[in-house]
Amino acid sequence: MSSNDDFTIRPLRTFAAAALLACMCAAPGAVAAQELRDIRPSEGPLVLQSRGSFYVGGEQVDKTAVEIGDLGPDDQITIHQMYVEYMVPDGASKVPVVMVHGATLSGKTYDTTPDGRMGWYEYFVRKGHPAYVVDQIGRARSGFDQSVFNNVRAGQTPPDEQPSLLRLGDRFGSWTNFRIGPEPGQPFPETQFPVEAAGKLSRQSIPDLLGTSRASNPNWKALSDLAWQLDGAVLLTHSQSGPYPLESAIIDATGIRAIVMVEPGTCNAQVHTDEEIATLAKTPIFILFGDYLSSPTKLPGPSWEDRFNDCKAFKERVDVAEGDVRLLATADTGTRGNSHMMMMDRNNLQIADLILAWIDEKTSR
């Protein structure tokens, strides 16, 4: 038995249990079992002042029985509420950090990595920051409006008006678009992604129930509300959610002490007015990319190099307004091999340290 097993397999109580373990690798459940057995021992007790979960926002709406889903009578429900889980370390004195995941993922992104190591959620807490992890509205434990789907089912709306339930696939979405390797199943030689666990990344993926063509995104206001409720927080976002804090800050920057955008899908360099750019210039912003930016995604849409260049153009606009934007590709610092999912990469804690140092610098004033 490897030391990894010590965490999950408690002392054997009986011979039957020993026999069970002995045949574990051959048992039908073996692949699934590996998920739990992979988890590495923790690096010492975690002492929390508090932990828990709550919701931000949400909209109470009246719905028909059909829209709610055939259980009736007509009733009221809440939609578009945002789920937030949190941990506050004992003796916390540092600024809270709110973590937001990317497309077709959930708050799970920042927890235990696919190969069973500590994620950024727990690491930031161990470093003294209260950490708040959300599920984007339209995903996971957060709300969405199911009437859009039930109305199609009932023949009240044409099928093609139903949102597409987007999910990235394993071969191109996860492997080439997330820059684990140039081709599905073929890793970059220096990749930091735990490739033996690449298949498990897919288990973390769930579709986006808001669809892909929304103009105004309810997550923007929920995040500025959350930062405000926390009396000041750093918004740390990834990929799809990368640019959300820019919109949140334009709505209300009161609670937003700093913004960290990890591999944003876009920086919307040309979208904002000069007045909006002037607003954004008041908040320190750190934009972080990994390696292999010019590797083809094999999906429609911009390359990662395009996205980096868009963020460069965004930085230039904010620089003119005397703002504080740091734009960094980790590969340019001599750290090779970071993928799009750098919170899961083997050097995820090293990248976290880079972010934590910047946060401490920008929020200790």
Ranges within 163-192 binding a copy of itself (CB under 8 A): 163-173
Rounded to an integer, what distance in angstroms lies between the CA atom of residue 348 and that of residue 152? Answer: 43
- Does 250 contact a copy of itself by CB under 8 A? no
CA-closest candidate to residue 285, choices 327, 227, 255, 320? 327
- Residue 309 burial (10 A CB sphere; 0-12, 13-18, 19+): middle
Contact criterion met (CB below 8 Å) for 162 and 149: yes
Q: Of the listed pieces 108-116, 240-248, 267-275, 339-347, which binds a copy of itself according to CB under 8 A?
A: 108-116
Are the C-beta atoms of residues 78 and 59 closer than 8 Å to each other? Answer: yes
DSSP states along 142-204:
S---THHHHHHHTTSS-GGGSPP-B---IIIIIIIITTS-SBTTB--TT--S-GGGHHHHGGG
Cβ-based nearer residue to a copy of itself, 164 or 294: 164
Choose one: 194-202, 235-243, 260-268, 347-355; the region binding a copy of itself (CB under 8 A): 194-202
Minimum CB distance to a copy of itself smaller for 202 or for 268: 202
Binding segment toward a copy of itself, per CB under 8 A, in 42-50, 259-267, 316-324, 325-333? 42-50
Among 224, 232, 286, 295, residue whose Cα is nearest residue 259: 286
Q: Does 216 bind a copy of itself (CB under 8 A)?
A: no
**The one segment of 112-120, 267-275, 277-285, 308-316 that binds a copy of itself by CB under 8 A:** 112-120
| Complex with a copy of itself: residue 177 or 330, whichever CB lies closer | 177
Element at 289 (helix H, strand E): strand 285-289
Least Cβ distance, residue 180 to a copy of itself (angstroms): 14
102 Cβ contact list (under 8 Å, min separation 6): 109, 238, 239, 240, 241, 242, 263, 265
Considering only 182, 200, 282, 336, the residue that binds a copy of itself (CB under 8 A) is 200
Q: Taking CB under 8 A as the rule, does residue 265 contact a copy of itself?
A: no
Name the minimum Å distance from CB 121 to a copy of itself: 9
Q: Is 10 in the site for a copy of itself (CB under 8 A)?
A: yes
Other Cβ atoms closer than 10 A to 187: 17
| Count of residues that interact with a copy of itself, criterion CB under 8 A | 106
Q: At what angle do helices 244-251 and 218-229 cross, to 10 degrees?
A: 70
Distance of CA 159 to the CA centre of its chain: 30
Ranges within 305-364 binding a copy of itself (CB under 8 A): none
- Is residue 141 part of the contact set for a copy of itself (CB under 8 A)? yes
Among 6, 25, 196, 203, binds a copy of itself (CB under 8 A): 203
If one asks whether residue 47 binds a copy of itself (CB under 8 A), the answer comes out as yes
Q: Which of 99, 100, 102, 106 binds a copy of itself (CB under 8 A)?
A: 106
Minimum CB–partner distance for residue 270 and a copy of itself (Å): 24
Query: Residue 7 or residue 328: which is nearer to a copy of itself going by CB?
Result: 7
What are the two backbone dihedrals, phi and then psi, of residue 327, each rounded to the nearest 5 degrees?
-120, 125
Report strand pairing: 131-135 vs 75-89. Answer: antiparallel
Residue 262 CB, shortest distance to a copy of itself, in Å, is 20
Residues between 84 and 103 with contacts to a copy of itself, criterion CB under 8 A: 84-85, 90
| The one among 78, 214, 296, 326 contacting a copy of itself by CB under 8 A | 78
How far apart are CB 327 and a copy of itself at their closest, in Å? Answer: 27
Reduced to 3 states (helix: H, G, I; strand: E, B; else coil), residue 100 is strand
CA atoms 37, 40, 44, 50: torsion sign: negative
